Amino acid sequence: MKLLITGGAGFIGARLARTLLARGTLAGRTIERLVLADLVPPGAALLADARVQPRVGALREQCAALREERFDGVFHLASAVSAECEADFDLGLASNLDSTRALLDALRAAGNAPRLVFASSVAVFGSDPALPLPPVVRDDTLPTPQSSYGIHKFICEQLVADYTRKGFIDGRSARLMTVAVRPGRPNAAASGFLSGIIREPLTGLEAVCPVAPETAVALASPARTIEGLITVYEAERDAFGGRTALNLPALTVRVSEMLDALEAVAGAQARERVRFERDPNIERIVGGWPSRIEAGRSLRLGLRPDVDFRSIVAQYIEDHPASIITRRQA
């Protein structure tokens, strides 16, 4: 089978690609070709796999060619991130809304109704002043996005549902949770500290936590996130249930519990590298995110949240051994 991952060189996209290549099959079929479309080429390890074909460039510009090409399945992950969308309103609409519509129209033109998993986001949820978010967010909770990024994701969910209803694609929207622990350098995202307060201390660096220790957040590890995308892809249409987006499972954890886990795995010295320096702006943003997710339909597909945050820290250490300072070294 021939698969397309948009955003295939990003953190989630590349990890999904590695996982798919290692499995060799998807929904019972052998993966012969894996096209990774992104603004940049994927890493050397992915490029070395003969099944991988990189396509570098803006997705919207790639879509004309996609009309002539038939994919069996698509994971649509490409997206401008929230900070970009807030900084440049038009870029956000073009990158997220116009590109998705161009992709859906290309798949429709191809005519084989491919299966498509759209990576939506927990960012569709936000607290509208008139309709505050309920304490627990469920699959039937009304999203009231409070960012352009969340608006775009929610709009694309609607397009995926309608193209599916019309039989143009077999689309499924899955809302990804905040993924931690992400590798790499600190970034400007409001959620960045949720990875940073673990990743930096493990490499011997200091990290700043901008919210109170009792702040609760909903997280998923990279492995569980990839598992979610693949499970949603492989689900029978009836098992997915309807055409409405589903929430992937999330572990609810307090920042203090995250640091407990860091200390349990890497020692008190690691925890001491985290300094609390509250940032009202980030506290307000993070406070608007749902911290408790009831992912009913995901659970029925057999998906589960991470068992605890300690296992998430252990997963990060296992995935990135070279970047870790052990207790002895520290």
Taking alpha carbons only, the member of 242, 252, 254 closest to residue 139 is 242
Phi, psi dihedral angles at 55 (to 5 degrees)? -135, 110
Residues ≥6 apart with Cβ < 8 Å to 154: 120, 124, 143, 145
Choice from 23, 29, 166, 284 touching a second copy (CB under 8 A): 166
Which residue stretch of 18-26, 142-150, 178-186, 274-282 sits at the interface with a second copy (rule: CB under 8 A)? 142-150
Q: How far is the CB of 301 from a second copy (least distance, A)?
A: 12
Site string for a second copy, 237-276 (x = CB under 8 A): ---xxxxx--------------------------------
Q: Which is nearer to a second copy, 29 or 166 (CB)?
A: 166
Binding marks (x or -) toward a second copy, 20..59, rule CB under 8 A?
A: ----------------------------------------
The verdict on 235 binding a second copy (CB under 8 A) reads no
Nearest to 166, CA basis, from 118, 107, 124:
107
**In the set 154, 193, 233, 316, which binds a second copy (CB under 8 A)?**
154
> Using the rule CB under 8 A, which residue among 144, 191, 221, 231 binds a second copy?
144
Out of 148, 178, 247, 298, name the contact with a second copy by CB under 8 A.
Answer: 148
304 forms part of the interface with a second copy (CB under 8 A)? no
Q: Is 233 a catalytic residue?
A: no
Residue carrying the six token digits 């129209």: 105
Cis peptide before 81 (omega within 30 of 0): no
Backbone angles phi, psi at 117, to 5 degrees: -105, 120
Measured CA distances, 161 to 37, 80, 132, 299 (Å): 23, 21, 26, 21
> What residues are labeled active site?
149
